[in-house]
Each structure stands twice: as C-alpha cells, then as structure tokens.
Amino acid sequence: MIDRTRPEPKPGVLDIAAYVPGKSKASGGSRLFKLSSNETPLGASHAAIEAYRDNAAALELYPDGGAVALREAIASVHGLNPANLVCGNGSDELLALLANTYLAPGDEAVFTEHAFLVYRIAVLAAGAKPVIVPETDLKADVDTMLSAVTDRTRLVFLANPNNPTGTYLPFDEVRRLHAALPPNVLLVIDAAYAEYVRRNDYESGIELVSTSQNVVMTRTFSKIYGLANLRLGWCYGPDHVIDALNRVRGPFNVTGPAIAAGIAAIRDRDFLENAVAHNEKWLPELTERLTALGLGVTPSVGNFILIHLPDVDGKRAPDADAYLLDRGIVVRRVENYGFPNSLRMSIGTDEANEAVIDALRSFLEKA
C-alpha cells in the first residue's frame, strides 16, 4: 500500500543496503595500520600534492566543467582521444551515471555474486533489477553471465580485476563475453585495479572500447595513484555513450584541486613504477607466508588479498578481526560480499605487512 502521508522514494531505493566503507579506526595498538580500503601504502605523488596545494589559491573559482586538461593528460598517457573521456567524482559516480542513463524500471543489469557492492546500489537506485549470477572458482564465468542475459538486459558489469577476490578474466574471455552480447547491451568494464595487473593475458578494456559501440571502461585515481581523498575517476567510451553521460552529469562534478592533482599524478611515471614494484614484492610474499600459516588465500592480481579463516570455534573471521583490531590492525570483513569467514587485507607498508603476519600467527597459535 502506498503511504500518501509523506514523500516516498521510488521503488527499489529502500531495497538498497547502504554501502559501508572499510573501518578506519582500531581499539588498540601503539600504531594504526589501516588495511581495509585497498588504499596505496605509498601515499600520493609529491607532484600531485604540490599541484593540489597550488590550486588552493583559486578556491573561490569554479573548476573547468569539462576537466579538459585532465582529460588531455589521461589521453596522452594512454594514447586515447580526450573527446572519448568523461571524468567523475570517483569511478563510483560514473558507475551510477551509467546506470541512471541506461536503466529504466523493468530493465535488468547482470553482474556476478562477489562483485563490487556499488553495482547493486546503482542498479536499484535507477529503479531497475539486479541479476546476480554465480561465479566459478571465485571468478566471473562468461557462460553463466550470458545465460542470464534476457530481452530486458541493458547493462552488464564486469569488475576486472574483481574486488574483493582479486581474480580476473583473461582478455580472450572478455572478448567472448562481449561478442555474445546483443548490440543494445552495454558492457561496463570496471578496471579500478588495472595498473597493478602484471599478466600477459590481461587487458584493461581500452582496445575493446576502441573497436566497439557498446563497451565502456571505468578507471580510478583512488588506488595506485593515492588520490582516494579527492574522489577522482574517469571512463572511456564510444562517442554516443560519452555524449549521453555529459548530458546527465553535474556541470562541475570534478573539483579544481582534484583536476590539478590528477594531472600531476598520472604524469609521474616514477611514482607509478615504485607503487607497482612494492606490490609485486609483497603480493606473492604475503600470499606465501599466510598460506604457510595454514590460511587459505585466493590468488590475487590486485593490491589486496582475500584471506580465508579456519571453520573452527574461536578461529573464524570475526574472531581474527577482533584480535587484529586490538593490535591496531584494521582489515575488511567481507560477509556482505558473500564471504562470512574471510577477511580482505590491502597490501600495506613493509611494517604493516609484517605486523599482520605476526598477529595472525599469534592468533592461530593461541589456545
């Protein structure tokens, strides 16, 4: 029954479970190690910080509504046409814009069971129906995704790599997924962690977007570039998609400080290479050492790992999380992603990574 005594949100909104970010505080420990939000342990580029500070002299002015200089910097680095780029207040805004632009009540959007929680929020907020499909070995399964596509499907979201599993689809599989989609279905490739991936069979989606009319790729400055606090993202798409997004986005959706810092960050290749090298050192080492403790670890290509705890009283994920928090170590509980007995840990500094190993060792050894 419709309640006519007060304004009511449109159908779907009250079905949304609000997104809960990773914790940022712990109850104990002389030093806080925040490893809950996949932030870079290296901070931001000094060049980006200086550009941000320099922009403070013009806070009374509106930013460039088209983020032209930022789009040109992104295009220069990636070999793209800046006219095919849209920048946003984080890639989250762009994902929501895509949903609001291409979904109407009665439409459907397909994504996998352990995919980024924002997809479901964006789809429901647009008044459409999320269609959630199983994964195989914690990876997106192309055939299962295609089997869920109907005449009502308008969007397919693919996180590649995926958060929180850290798994990815080889580019041949992404191509196969796209080739089997109807031309009126938009494939959204969320490549937030693309810069970290070092696999010969991986491609972020740029090539597929460049040769298709129904593919868009989203990226972020929040991860490897260390600009999470500024909320900055971008997407690359065909002319008609970019035109539609520019019609519905806010006129000044990216701030001047974010534009300035983003330009400096994406041009600082030394910073990027150092961030990749740090991740390449610690991703396999943490995986090996956590596995040696008897913990399950899903192989990851991102800057985080999914750790599976024993199904034993006193040793499960909530117990481990509480134990780590008492020692100033903040990781991410992921039961809302379908993993009630797992924790997601960002790759941290050398000190933070060692602290996690030591704490989990003592946790598992305690009576």
Structural domains of the chain in order of their starting residue, each with its CATH number: 13-43+270-365 (3.90.1150.10), 46-267 (3.40.640.10)
Q: What is the pLDDT of residue 13?
A: 67
Name the burial class of residue 15, with classes exposed (0-12), middle (13-18) and buried (19+) by CB atoms within 10 angstroms of its CB.
exposed
**For the CA atoms of 241, 245, 247, 252, what is the dihedral angle to 10 degrees?**
-150
The pLDDT assigned to 11 comes to: 73
Give the integer Cα–Cα distance in Å for 62 and 250. Answer: 13
Q: Give the C-alpha separation, 210 to 216, whole Å.
A: 9
Token pair, residue 5, equals 């005594």
Determine how many CB atoms are found less than 10 A away from the CB of residue 58: 12
CB 304 within 8 A of CB 345: yes
User: How distant, in Å, are the alpha carbons of 229, 306, 363 from that of 330?
Assistant: 18, 14, 15
Burial category of 201 from C-beta neighbours within 10 Å (exposed 0-12, middle 13-18, buried 19 and up): exposed
Q: Which amino acid is at 130?
A: P
Q: Which of 135, 218, 148, 145 is nearest to 178 (CA)?
A: 145
pLDDT at residue 31, as a whole number: 73
Q: pLDDT tens per residue, the chain (367 residues)?
A: 566 777 666 677 667 566 466 655 655 545 789 999 999 999 999 999 999 999 999 999 999 999 999 999 999 999 999 999 999 999 999 999 999 999 999 999 999 999 999 999 999 999 999 999 999 999 999 999 999 999 999 999 999 999 999 999 999 999 999 999 999 999 999 999 999 999 999 999 999 999 999 999 999 999 999 999 999 999 999 999 999 999 999 999 999 999 999 999 999 999 999 999 999 999 999 999 999 999 999 999 999 999 999 999 999 999 999 999 999 999 999 999 999 999 999 999 999 999 999 999 999 998 5
Question: How high is the pLDDT of residue 251?
Answer: 92
Q: Which amino acid is at 275?
A: A
Sign of CA dihedral 64, 70, 73, 79: negative
* Main-chain dihedrals φ then ψ at residue 321, nearest 5 degrees: -60, -45
Residues 101, 114: Cα–Cα separation, whole Å: 24
- Confidence (pLDDT) at 163: 96
Confidence at residue 6, expressed as pLDDT on a 0 to 100 scale: 74
Spatial CA neighbour of 89 closest among 257, 266, 253, 227: 253
